[in-house]
Amino acid sequence: MNKLNFDVLIIGSGLAGLSSALKLANKKKIAVISKSKLVDSSSHWAQGGIASSLAENDSTKSHIDDTKIAGVGLCKDDVTKFVTENSKEALSWLTKIGVKFTKEKNGQGLHLTREGGHSHKRIAHVKDATGKAIQDCLIDLVLSHPNITTFENHIAVDLITSNKVGGKLKRNTCLGAYILDNQVNRVYTISAFNVILATGGASKVYLYTTNPDVSTGDGIAMGWRAGCKIANMEFVQFHPTCLFDSKDKSFLISETLRGEGAKLILPNGESFMNKYDSRGDLSPRDIVARAIDFEMKKGGLNCVYLDITHHPKSFITNRFPMIYKRCLERGLDITKVPIPVVPAAHYSCGGVMTDLDGQTDIQQLFAIGEVAYTGLHGANRLASNSLLECLVYADAVAKKILKDKFSHSLALPDWDESRVTDADEEILITHTWNELRTFMWNYVGIVRTNKRLSRALHRINMLRSEVNEFYTNFKISPNLIELRNLLQVSELIVLSAIARKESRGLHYSKDFPKTLKDAKETILVPKNLKN
């Protein structure tokens, strides 16, 4: 018997997961599942900050307008209003629990910077390591709270629903999850009255990404298999500026450099962004990423460059200490030479569909953060709205759960591995992983065609049959679980891309280059959706 019981099971340890844990812990018994260490999350890597209309010349309306413009017609009005109107409260809560945001030189008010797509300076930050500062604070509080139990180096295998176990409930309800302890290779059954998916995005399906290794789309895949609708998976945001370095393929160069005046240039020193958009270097990410991709292909370039050398050294080292240090370790003094950069997969705008309470199609199952599709980001996420969304929906989900009186006494079955054996060909899993990420990069990247998408779908179907055989016959491992999830998420991305017969935001098709008048969501419905 390997069974544990909690009031709330939170799968994921980024900003969304830890914030919701803290907001619930005074009244609920909480379990937090972390695939690796608590610090290994996309939130921890976030350099930019949190968007909020704090400046005197700014307004919530302006923040809403900028979000909608970036989202190219697909942002939901009620969601956009809900998130932006709660931004000040979110920042206030972080300040209250101990996050020390960078202030103006006179100490009066927060220092606000500007990023692409924003019409005003509205990004609150902690120098150039906002995510780390917030996560460090949250982790300290989580580890010291008596009602929160953390499980590091554990990975969720699948959700347990009433439909799966034959529970006599009116609607399909999430009852818990199977969780693999990576260190002892044992699967636990965790029962919970509420389950929160906070697993982050799926950018690890691509060869080049700014995300940590844990971003393998686990929550999206598990939600889909359990019976949740998935929306807008074709909109994968490629961050325009990832450090081009053979040994450091995941280091993001924050958009805030361009907010502080850095320029994108070609090897000959020529600035090029004004050719593509009147907003130049501060254009939304989809426009900048496509522009860089075009210039690289036109010129046969391995990268372009980001130049901030016109600023004094003291400004650069004080404003961007982490970036300066990381680049210096790679032999680049960014006070003297431009930074070589390339686009890389960065953020999933689609995910598990939720309402304003973070509720999914399955009762007692919630999704918050990058794993969720709330309708905030539309066809392209506005910079620094992601951490904000995590905070606002963590609060919304916590309030919903605290009001809810649901409980159950259903007995959950143990994980059954009686008919499987140890895998002796782990190398095949690694090979398949690499193959998947390579063809997703080549066929389902920044610019897409029907032929490329069809070829990708064909390859995914072939690989899934192989992986399903592994999954059926061998004991599970973290690599096998992640590969299974990556293949599922890749299929959802490709199917969504094929379904969209236009170019919009982050989805650009050479076969359908025009944007249709009517903006519609791409919604995929699983065959097992039952209510």
What are the tokens at 136? 């460090």
| Cα–Cα–Cα angle for 299, 282, 334, rounded to 5 degrees | 70
**Secondary structure class of 106 (helix, strand, coil):** coil
The sheet that has 304-307: what strands, in order across it? 236-243, 339-348, 304-307, 263-265
Of 93, 116, 72, 220, the closest CA to residue 158 belongs to 220
**Count of residues in the chain:** 531
Is 285 noted as a catalytic residue in this protein? yes
Within 8 A by CB and 6+ apart from 7, the residues are 24, 28, 29, 30, 192, 193, 194
Q: DSSP for 378-394?
A: TTSPPTT-HHHHHHHHH
Within 8 A by CB and 6+ apart from 486, the residues are 202, 204, 205, 216, 217, 221, 433, 436, 437
137 within 8 A of 203, measured Cβ to Cβ? no
Of 207, 194, 155, the closest CA to residue 40 belongs to 155
* Catalytic, out of 114, 122, 258, 285: 285
Q: How far is CA 363 from CA 6, 97, 261, 358, 392, in A?
A: 17, 31, 48, 11, 21
Q: Which residues participate in catalysis according to the annotation? A: 285
